[in-house]
Amino acid sequence: MNTTALTIIVVIQVVTALTIIGLVLMQHGKGADMGAAFGSGASGSLFGATGSSNFLSKMTGVAAAVFFSSTLALAYFGSVRTVSTNSVTDTMTTAPAVAVPGAAVPPAAPAAPAPATPAGQSGQIPK
């Protein structure tokens, strides 16, 4: 998946997170219902006489669904990995060793002689 689509999903996630924060802060708590029961002017509010609890609750639920779906999309696209069939060593070429004229060739090291054991001893430790 290209980076443009991932950027769009991240922007959607950030916008919905900010929307959820705003909607939750706009909602009133359970204790505010008691004040509205005694006529605190709820009928003249923007959302009507029923109050804002239904509208804000539904919008918070929609925003939460969009947020969770964008989170799942980011998790899915973040876990998908492209499998490469080529290795770095497959693309490398090895050049044959070429002797340079005039270069000194290091002498071969002589083999170490085997330690000699005197006749009659088989290498056992005396008791």
Domain chopping of the chain, boundaries = 1-24+46-81
pLDDT band at residue 69 under the 50/70/90 scheme: very high
pTM of the model: 0.49
Mean pLDDT of the chain: 75
Question: Residue 91: pLDDT above 80?
Answer: no
Q: Is the pLDDT of residue 124 over 80?
A: no
| pLDDT band, very low/low/confident/very high, at 22 (cuts 50, 70, 90) | very high
Here the contacts of 6-12 (C-beta below 8 Å, separation 24 or greater) are: 6/74, 6/77, 9/70, 9/73, 9/74, 9/77, 10/74, 12/66, 12/70
Rounded to an integer, the average pLDDT of 78-96 is 70
